[in-house]
Structure 1
Amino acid sequence: MPEGESRFKTIKDKVFSLWNQYPRWGKIPQFLELLEKGLDKELFHDHEKQAIPIPIEDLPVDEVLRQSGSLRKFYEWAFPVSHVFRITHRYNREYLDNFLPLSQQDYIGRGSYKFVYKLPWNQVVKIGKSKLPSDALFGSLFKQVGRNMDQFLKKEEIDLKNYLQKQTIFESNRDEIEFKFKRLGLERLHYWKLKSLIPDLVIPTRFFMGLRIRNTPWKVPSITLTPCDQQTLLPGKHLKEFTIRNEKLDQNAILDKFFPKWKLNFDTHRFGIISRSKLKKIAVDFNRVIEVTKFLAEEEKLIFDVHAENIIITLPDFELKIFDFHLFDDFLYEPSEENPNPEMDHIKLIEEFIRSFELDK
């Protein structure tokens, strides 16, 4: 072999050897790598440093979501929540880490699918409610997760699922475990759909399988396996907290009595004077949300189910942030006479809110 060719082969072998030492080089990052990129920094908390808690009056508030019926209040009193662990699989068995202490006083809200608890530092943990597989949440995206669980769950989560299923003798319990892990993957997929389109508007969130612990009167803890997620707590106000109801919309007598509708108006003095430039920035971001809603409806046949309690405007920066949203198949929505396309119900609400800024004057 000529000397020059031999030298070239030596260099090539060294390059391939170096390349093979780092098999991730040159490869497209996986879904979960992209999903959790930066979360270690975003959600890092130094337990040795006592952070100044955000005052309760600066937190997003929705008194309707906070209210519970008498049975629920009794249940919370009799079986108070104690803490949540993140559970995974290590050393050939279940492994608990990330202890998250909770108490009744930390309960700050509930949605259709989650209970929300404030952590002792400026973060929240959201604990999944038990839901039936027939719930509209578990549509085509849930089936997509079921077909590709290794894409949406980490290896240790799949190992944990398999391990827990082997520990039970009942088929129904194995099905329940399978369902909960698929739901964890579904939450990640919903989050990614929006995060990939409007990353700066979606609050960073880490999803994990959790063990929720409740105390019982007979001193035996009640333990529930359930999907959870963790977010940084931001000072701000829900969208509806910025609105005033001073103009009722005309409907028929029955709707006016039982389902009244009001024109949305923005109270620019309720939380201080808001500059015109900040209102313009909020309006631009809302229009981005509208475009994403249209894109998901037209291209993927999905309804971005955003409500006033899923949107906050931060204080004192007055920036738009979105969290705890879900996506539903469009065929699950009944079109109305006013809005034959179901996504327009959400879009028109946002458009009316933007118009209330009166930026065209």
Structure 2
Amino acid sequence: MKRRINVFHYDFMNIKTFYRTCSLLLKFDNVPDFFSKIEIKKLKTISNNSFYLSHNIEYADELSALMYYVIEMIKGFFLFDSMLYNHTISLIESNLPLLQKAYQYIGIVDASISIASLKKGTQGCEPVISLKKELVLKNAYHPLVNNCIKNSITIKDSSIVITGSNMSGKTTFLKTIGINVILSQTINYSFCDYIENPYSNVFTSIVKEDNIEQGNSYFMDELLRANQIFKVLDSTSLPQIILFDEIFKGTNSKDRIALASALLLYLSKMNCIVIVTTHDLDIIDLVYEKYATYFFDNSLFDNILYFDYKIKHGIQSKTNVLELVKSLNFPPAIISDTIKLKQTVKLPIIK
């Protein structure tokens, strides 16, 4: 019972704040018709009652405390708080349509202020939305990455496969595309100099995890996401955007290469734009006729890895695993054995 009373206490305090917000909005022009002074006055009684029910008395001395307890005893005897509470609830129920409209309007105003502040404080543009199977981004960046390197890309008539060494920027680039396409269709703003994208859903398989409660493995999570994509592609004629990060890395190399290649070839026939990253160059050999290739590069200078985080056309065949483990001071025996074993390891032949 005490917990329920505390919940009502908190809600009544919010109603007081809600009324003050409505009163302030009345000072501006172009407010909705239902936001008239006559309608807002109906909220005043609710606000006053709510304030009384939620107000905590702070007394300065013993005499004030004694008077407070006497008044509370009288109120309790006549059930004053209970009657006031029921009266307030009745007022809320009778004015519920007005309250709902006002809450929605305040939410719109609050969201609009946030979007306006975002646009003022960042560099971006208004998008061009189309129904074409094309995606164009110029100098796009991720807003949550400090000093993010901007990248540009144009995808028309085909999807793309991105290769590159670890930490070179592949995943961040996928997230950059995803967030800019989503924001272009929600707040009409994107973090780039120019963006043209179709009106579409954005499907991602970037952050993948197992689920012990549902009994799903890491690989099963990837399969379930792919299955969701199939269902949507079969139910709409609009082009869709699909982002795969290191596709099917949750299974062995032979099955991964075969399944990923088959999936990408299937999607190439559908009305969608696929952007996939991978370390498996064998996948590119199997899908190169349908997918353009891009890569992120790195360089080594004085045993220090440098990344420019710029996307380039082509295929990245270099790796940086040895450089990374050396920089972390792995035991020399592991490093030397890695070099030897790397010469003997052969990828399975896909049949």
Larger Rg belongs to: 2
TM-score (structure 1 length as normaliser): 0.21
Pick the structure with more strand per residue.
Answer: 1
Pick the structure with more helix per residue.
Answer: 2
